[in-house]
Amino acid sequence: MASLKQLIEALCKGKVQFVIIGGMATVAQGVTYVTVDLDICYERSAQNCERIADTLAPFQPYLRDAPPGLPFVLDAATIQVGLNFTLSTTAGDLDLIGEVAGLGAYDSVLANSEPLELFGLTCSVLTLEGLLKAKRASGRPRDLLLIPELEALLALRRKAEA
Amino acid sequence: MEIEKTSRSTIEDDEILRRAEAFGVDLSLLRERLTWTPTERLERLFEVLEFVEALQAAGRWAHGEP
């Protein structure tokens, strides 16, 4: 599972415009949560879709839970005609998200993110406030369960800064 | 005025923490994580996941599954 680290490193080094969202962002921010996949919100320009396709190609991305043998290729054209992709890769599960509930598309998600140093690289990660907006908007029970912990972390940070 | 505002937000934060604790949030774990860097938080997660994978593999082996 350490290979999800390789995925993060590859996306950063490939100059992909992305923000880490979802469970991995909650963990990076300090929540006591266990997640097995990496969710990212990506910028949808042709150039960035090209970078995503090039960066992920060595990890053999394939549609998660789809039967094997489908004629699926994650190239720039495929990314541009789609929006959200749930993928399995040789480095672990990866969700490419074009729009985040409660936040919107990449620019808005980026505005709700902060640069964090991860494994020696600087990555944009959704803030605690951004995570709260997204979790509240999704309305899924598993997301709503995280809200008290996210609110508590924010309160602890405020108290530490006061 | 500023002191009043600060003490009000402190009271609000105390209330948020009290509610979270009543919900079952372990504040001591959160306080500990706040002392770690983001990289350390993710590295700990990956360690936990490796342990879970090893447990799952042991379970499959014990039940004669591939």
Q: How far is it, in rounded angstroms, from Cα B18 to Cα A137?
A: 24
Average pLDDT, chain B: 89
Q: Tens of pLDDT along B53-63?
A: 899 899 999 98
pLDDT at A119: 94
Give the gap in angstroms from C-alpha B63 to the nearest C-alpha of chain A. Answer: 23
Interchain CB contacts (distance < 8 Å): A and B: 88
Q: Tens of pLDDT along A27-76?
A: 999 999 899 999 999 999 999 999 999 999 999 999 999 998 898 999 99
Residues 6+ apart with CB under 8 A from A129: A112, A154
Give the gap in angstroms from C-alpha A156 to the nearest C-alpha of chain B. Answer: 8
A99 lies in some domain: yes
Give me the domain span that covers residue A28: 3-154
Number of domains in chain A: 1
A111 lies in some domain: yes
pLDDT higher than threshold 80 for residue A79: yes
Residues 6+ apart with CB under 8 A from A150: A26, A31, A128, A131, A132, A135
Residues of A with CB under 8 A from a CB of B: 1-2, 4-5, 24, 27-32, 34-36, 116-120, 125, 148-149, 151-160, 162
A125 lies in some domain: yes
pLDDT tier, B64 (very low <50, low <70, confident <90, very high otherwise): confident
pLDDT at B2: 61
A88 lies in some domain: yes
Helix and strand element counts for chain B (H, E): 3, 0
pLDDT higher than threshold 80 for residue B5: no
pLDDT tier, B3 (very low <50, low <70, confident <90, very high otherwise): low
Give the gap in angstroms from C-alpha A77 to the nearest C-alpha of chain B. Answer: 32
pTM passes above 0.90: yes
Give the gap in angstroms from C-alpha B62 to the nearest C-alpha of chain A. Answer: 22
pLDDT at B4: 64
Which of B19, B27, B30 is the mutation pick for testing A, counting most A CBs within 10 A? Answer: B30
Q: Mean pLDDT, to the nearest integer, of A151-162?
A: 93
pLDDT at B10: 83
Give the CATH number, domain containing residue A41. 3.30.460.40
Average pLDDT, chain A: 95
A135 lies in some domain: yes
Residue by residue, what is the 3-state secondary structure of chain A? CCHHHHHHHHHHHCCCCEEEEHHHHHHHHCCCCCCCEEEEEECCCHHHHHHHHHHHHHHCCEECCCCCCCCCCCCHHHHHHCCCEEEEECCEEEEEECEECCCEEHHHHHHCEEEEEECCEEEEEECHHHHHHHHHHHCCHHHHCCHHHHHHHHHHHHHHHC
Give me the interface pTM, i.e. the ipTM.
Answer: 0.90
pLDDT at B6: 63
A161 lies in some domain: no
Of B9, B20, B31, the CB nearest to A148: B20
Are the beta carbons of B41 and A20 closer than 8 angstroms? Answer: no
Which of A144, A151, A154 is the mutation pick for testing B, counting most B CBs within 10 A? Answer: A151
A73 lies in some domain: yes
A36 lies in some domain: yes
Q: Tens of pLDDT along A108-141?
A: 999 999 999 999 999 999 999 999 999 999 999 9
Domain map of chain B by residue range? 1-35, 37-66
pLDDT at A18: 98
Contact B10 A162 (CB under 8 A): yes
Q: In chain A, what residues touch B41 (CB-CB under 8 Å)?
A: 27-30
Nearest CA among A36, A23, A49, A15 for reference residue A122 = A15
